[in-house]
Structure 1
Amino acid sequence: MKKILCSFFVLLLPLIACSDVRSENGAYKEIFSVSDYQYEKNRYFLAGDYYVERFESGLSNDLLSFTLDAWMQVLELDVWVSSPDADSETLRGIAAVDPGKYKPSDFDTLKVSKNDEPVVYKGWFKRLSPDQYGFDGDRGYFWLNASADDDTVVAISCLLKDKSKVGTHERESTPETVVLRLIKPKNQQPTEAFRATWPLMMKNVYYLGDNLAPTKNLNLLVKPIQHEEGTDAATGGKRNNLLHEMGLDVIDECRYLVRNGDGLVDFNSFNINVKTGILIFPSLQPFDPSSDSRFELDEENRADIYNAVSPEDLEKKSKFKLIAIDELKNSDDVTAMKSIKEKGKS
């Protein structure tokens, strides 16, 4: 079985996983913070079930390289979004979880009810221009420059390494009707009706702000939130190892695996882009890994945010904030940070 091996550039940066962030008058300046449930909704998507299953399992033990079946590498990918009206830029289309079941000629006779729309949709579609999205053909995911609205359908067509196609993937001619792979139906929720597409939306991508690049000492903090009664949302003894358990701190400066991490985040080129401020966890559900995930968290450190339907439910189940901070100056009373710095220089 032929495999493709991809490797990532790695940069080691200091890590803090505690419950204290000092103000600008102290040792640190908070650059940006997001709650655990504030991932980039409706913006990053996996291109199919294979890439969902491979996203974690394809990573090496040190999380610095990735393998996939060679023929599943995505060479070309077109993104299509639904349009309420027909115009010169739209085409008739059928978007389905299993596009192989349909032909363009089925459009006129296909009847789709509201109950069917989580798995098949027909209507007008517009193909996005290449400057409106990007994709990683090795990992099998793509991203939109702007998040899709809840009532917008997102679908794709693509060309794989073995020259097979998913959907109607034509660039040299313009067909009258296209058949596409459905990625995001309208108004999808984490319910049984959307079980085929909900896993395709990536819930491990966070925007940390577009001003990370100028910082001299970029650090990350997972900070437990305070409930109304004033207690931490999580009280587990392994809180200080959360980013290790989530896959962001597994090697040392020499790229050797280290148990429980070494206090330095392994920011390889897959995990974080300081220019765009995008952080991608290697775990698909970093704050509540699924039962078949290679990443594990203690029960008290889990936040059941991926099955919440309403905004109120999300806030209620939230347990952590992810904070990007910049060290402003050394301080004798910040012993934990000082020891990490000294270790990094040794």
Structure 2
Amino acid sequence: MENKHIDLHLLTCLEALLAEGSVTRAAQKMGMSQPGMSNALARLRQLTSDALLVRTSQGMQLTPRAHELAVSVRKGLSAMEEIFADRRPFDPAQAQGAVTIAAADSVGVMLVPRLMQLIGECAPGVTVDMRLPDPAHVHEWLRDGECDLAVGYFPHLADGLRSTSLFSQSLSCVVKNGHPQLGPGMTLQDYVAARHVVFGSPFALMSTMEASLDEALARIGQRRQQAMRVSSVLLTPYVVAQTALVATLPTWLARHYAQMLPIQLLPLPFEPPDIDSRMVWHERSHQVGLHQWIREQMRRLLEESHALAVSEVPLLVATRRGMAHVE
């Protein structure tokens, strides 16, 4: 490869081609004509001595060499952006851009309404794309630029990622009022014998929280009976309220729904895992003004909302004599 023949425009064309996997879509992304992007692809093929994009029965596909180049290209462009970045103080009122956030539905309950109200008032030129996180691939999404921020429970972080702790979540067992078997004095045997609703995202059979809960039970030789799996944790309280099924939820979320539904919270009869909610982003966006501002607003809103949700409804603590309120 003759590096002297590569210019920044050609590098951005390569990034668009690798990201879109299509000459037409890459041209649209770059605001170019399709023939212009085709010419850029021809030059890139010559420089890399590789086809980069090949036609298959499933459409255009990246070659193995193209996949190898993708990470290096993104790093190169990020370095160029850092060199030429505008160092003026960030002004949200003048900001234009889009931010993609991966967060569970439960986080969305706390975050989205207040965040969008704030953005509408302070940064009307900013748009937000919310998506459900895929525990197995969220690190890749951040690395590859498919999302800018992720919020949730991440026991392990990949290299190149930054994070900040938001709050620790306690867990509670949730049952309907007047449950025929569970109530004051629920034992470990009662808990594991009950039929449970568990949460699994569209991407994974079990959420990381549910998996950690089962690992904690396995360490003491116990296992839950999983009767139902739901793809949205927000459905769980409604199922519990109308059936004999039980669930284990973050205490703040259970308290939130206890104000609207005939459900009660019971303390878990074993030592639950620590659920530390974190906000995670890639090193690439650490110094980007828009992302810094969004991260700070999200951190503040989530911490405020969590504190409010935890304090709104007293927890019903099961005792041998009945239910006691803890203020």
TM-score range, shorter chain: under 0.3
| Structure with bigger RCO (C-alpha 8 Å, 6+ apart) | 1
TM-score, length basis structure 2: 0.22
Larger Rg: 2
Q: Which has a greater percent of strand? A: 1
TM-score, length basis structure 1: 0.21
Q: Which has a greater percent of helix? A: 2
